[in-house]
Amino acid sequence: MRSIAIVCSGGDASGMNPALKRFVEYAIANACTPYFVYDGYEGLIDDRIGEAHYRDVSGILNKGGTVIGSSRSERFMLPKYRTQAALNLKKRHIHMLVVLGGDGSFRGMDTFYKEHRIACCGIPATIDNDIFGTAYTLGVDTALGMIRTAIDAIRDTAASLNRAFVIETMGRECGYLALVSALTSGAELCLVPEIPYDLQRITPRLKQQLQEGRHYFIIIISEGIAHDREAIATWLSNDVGIETRLNVLGHLQRGGNPSVYDRLMAYRFVTYAIDALLNGNNNSVVCYNDHTFSYRNVHDVATTPATVEAELLRLATPLCTLEH
């Protein structure tokens, strides 16, 4: 029987556990022996690799995070540790590897394949939705649900106490989570790296809204402008004239039971990944666009900056500038 392994790398994302369940079941259905690599690329280096069975994935579908662990590995950037990782796989006759992760994980995967010719296929799994070539990454829908719940709860307090709340979402340099959350939560303002903003030009409009009866604000900002978060809160208090609180949602966005959509996407992503490897597609990433799955070369995915889709930016621009 052929052997195939799966590893979760980088930040965790809800949907990874459903992916692991599908991986074990689909590998076995295709006469492959499935293996788990525990704790990301660190586990690949340290030989924390074990054969996976049905019992290992029983009852994990509804759990957030990943039961096999993940990591960000600086050692994997060094050739000697990648060589050790390859030896650990080859001694078990594992010549196929599925990688769940983001662009950093894919850069490592690309180098690993080129050096050691272990066939790899990447599944984009990051709540930031910031991977080039795919409109969706595993874990995004669940993260948006967690953000929605948090914003709805904060709104209760904002309305009760006549305050403004600045709520920071994750996303690194990508404003996707903030933009979608702002549009779907009824936020009064959204600030992201992709759309230039001028607080002083926004001030008169917010002050006018207060004069016309609005008594609280929900302001969504992206992690990419976190350096301005304190200045934004001060601006609201001093210039706009409303008592303001700052909420950084942080890692709660990564947790939570995987949504139905993320469970379905996990099932589909893994199916396409294993099919790619079994059909000789040895160094690719599964991408999803326009309701269709395809494969892209991992080097292109890992080295090309991602951008937020133009339509979303167009829809959100008035919310980010308060200009119509």
Report the CATH number that the domain containing residue 243 is assigned in CATH: 3.40.50.460
Phi, psi of 54, deg, nearest 5: -55, -40
Which residue, among 39, 26, 44, 100, has the nearest Cα to 68 in the 3D structure?
Answer: 39
Residue 135 DSSP code: S
Q: 63 with 32, same domain?
A: yes
Total-model pTM: 0.96
Q: 24 with 131, same domain?
A: yes
Q: 111 with 187, same domain?
A: no
Where in the sequence is the domain holding 134, given as residue range(s)?
2-139+258-306
Q: 97 with 168, same domain?
A: no
Tell me, yes or no, whether 289 lies in a domain.
Answer: yes
Number of domains in the chain: 2
128 catalytically annotated = yes
Q: 127 with 94, same domain?
A: yes
Tell me, yes or no, whether 323 lies in a domain.
Answer: no
Q: 125 with 14, same domain?
A: yes
Q: Summarize the confidence of residues 254-275 as an average pLDDT.
A: 98
Torsional sign, CA 101, 107, 109, 110: positive
Q: For the chain, what is the mean pLDDT? A: 97
Domain CATH code at residue 11: 3.40.50.450
Tell me, yes or no, whether 314 lies in a domain.
Answer: no
- Choosing from 39, 128, 130, 141, the catalytic residue is 128
pLDDT at 323: 83
Tell me, yes or no, whether 127 lies in a domain.
Answer: yes
Position 324 pLDDT exceeds 80: no
Q: 135 with 169, same domain?
A: no
Neighbouring residues of 24: CB distance < 8 A, sequence distance ≥ 6: 34, 52, 53, 54, 56, 57
Q: 127 with 265, same domain?
A: yes
Tell me, yes or no, whether 131 lies in a domain.
Answer: yes
Torsional sign, CA 290, 291, 295, 301: positive
305 bridge partner residues? none
Position 250 pLDDT exceeds 90: yes
Q: 245 with 176, same domain?
A: yes
Q: Is 190 helix (H, G, I), strand (E, B) or coil?
A: strand
Tell me, yes or no, whether 311 lies in a domain.
Answer: no
Q: 171 with 82, same domain?
A: no
Residue 30 pLDDT class (50, 70, 90 cuts)? very high
Q: 128 with 177, same domain?
A: no
Tell me, yes or no, whether 120 lies in a domain.
Answer: yes
Helix (H) or strand (E) holding 292: strand 292-297
Q: Is 67 helix (H, G, I), strand (E, B) or coil?
A: coil
Q: Summarize the confidence of residues 152-158 as an average pLDDT.
A: 97
